C-alpha cells in the first residue's frame, strides 16, 4: 500500500493538527465516495420514512463547510453562493432545495466549499494553531477554539457518512468502509 493509492489515509504518526485534518479529510473522502457518480434519481433516493437524500447531504455539508470555516471561524458573513440563498428562516433549505439542483451543481457546490474550507483551515493553522480562539462563542460569551471547530466538523461528517452508507446501498448496493485503492471522484451522471 502506497500513500498515492490511499491519499485520504491520516498519518500513522504526526502532530495533533495533522491527525485531526487527516481524520476530517478521510471522512470527506468516504462521504464523497458514497455520493460519487450518481444521476439525479440516485441523488434524490429516499429510504423508509426519512426525507434525507444524498443530494441533500451534499448541499447540507457544503453549507456546513462554509459556515464552519467562514462565519464561525472569522465572523465574516456567508459569501457566494449562500448569500443569495432563499433561507427564509428554514435551516432545512439545503436539504429541501437540493432536488432543484442538477448533479453537476451539487457536486460543484460541495467540492468548491471543501476547497475554500481547506484553504481557510490551512491559513488559520499557520496563523495560530488549534488553540487559537475563533469568532463563534457560547451563551456565556466564551469563544471556541479552532480545535473545537475541526472536531465539530469531524463529528458532522461522521454522522452523515453513516447516512450516506445506507442511502447509497439503497441506490445501487455500493457498500464498504473506504474507497478502493486509487479511487478519484468523478462527476455525476446526467441521465
Full set of structural domains in the chain with CATH: 25-172 (1.20.120.450)
Write down the pTM of the prediction. Answer: 0.94
Among 131, 160, 127, 164, smallest CA distance to 145 is for 131
DSSP 68: I
State yes or no: cis peptide before 43, omega within 30 of 0. no
* pLDDT per residue as tens, the chain (191 positions): 457 788 888 989 999 999 999 999 999 999 999 999 999 999 999 999 999 999 999 999 999 999 999 999 999 998 888 988 877 777 789 999 999 999 999 999 999 999 999 999 999 999 999 999 999 999 999 999 999 999 999 999 999 999 999 999 999 999 998 899 889 998 766 54
Computed on alpha carbons and rounded to an integer, the radius of gyration of the chain in Å comes to: 17
| Predicted local confidence at residue 8, as pLDDT | 86
Q: Is 110 helix (H, G, I), strand (E, B) or coil?
A: helix
Measured CA to CA, the distance from residue 44 to residue 46 in angstroms comes to 6
| Predicted local confidence at residue 1, as pLDDT | 46
Amino acid at each position: 500500500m502506497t500513500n498515492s493509492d490511499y491519499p485520504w489515509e491520516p498519518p500513522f504518526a504526526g502532530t495533533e493538527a495533522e491527525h485531526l485534518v487527516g481524520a476530517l479529510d478521510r471522512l470527506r473522502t468516504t462521504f464523497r465516495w458514497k455520493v460519487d457518480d450518481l444521476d439525479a434519481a440516485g441523488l434524490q433516493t429516499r429510504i423508509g420514512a426519512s426525507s434525507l437524500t444524498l443530494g441533500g447531504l451534499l448541499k447540507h455539508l457544503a453549507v456546513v463547510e462554509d459556515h464552519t470555516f467562514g462565519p464561525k471561524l472569522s465572523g465574516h458573513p456567508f459569501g457566494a453562493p449562500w448569500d443569495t440563498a432563499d433561507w427564509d428562516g428554514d435551516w432545512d433549505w439545503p436539504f429541501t432545495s437540493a432536488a432543484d439542483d442538477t448533479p453537476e451543481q451539487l457536486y460543484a457546490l460541495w467540492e468548491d466549499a471543501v476547497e475554500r474550507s481547506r484553504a481557510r483551515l490551512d491559513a488559520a493553522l499557520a496563523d495560530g494553531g488549534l488553540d487559537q480562539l475563533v469568532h463563534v462563542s457560547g451563551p456565556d460569551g466564551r469563544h471556541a477554539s479552532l480545535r473545537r471547530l475541526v472536531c465539530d466538523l469531524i463529528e458532522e461528517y461522521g454522522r452523515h457518512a453513516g447516512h450516506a452508507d445506507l442511502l447509497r446501498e439503497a441506490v445501487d448496493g455500493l457498500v464498504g468502509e473506504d474507497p478502493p485503492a486509487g479511487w478519484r471522484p468523478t462527476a455525476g451522471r446526467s441521465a
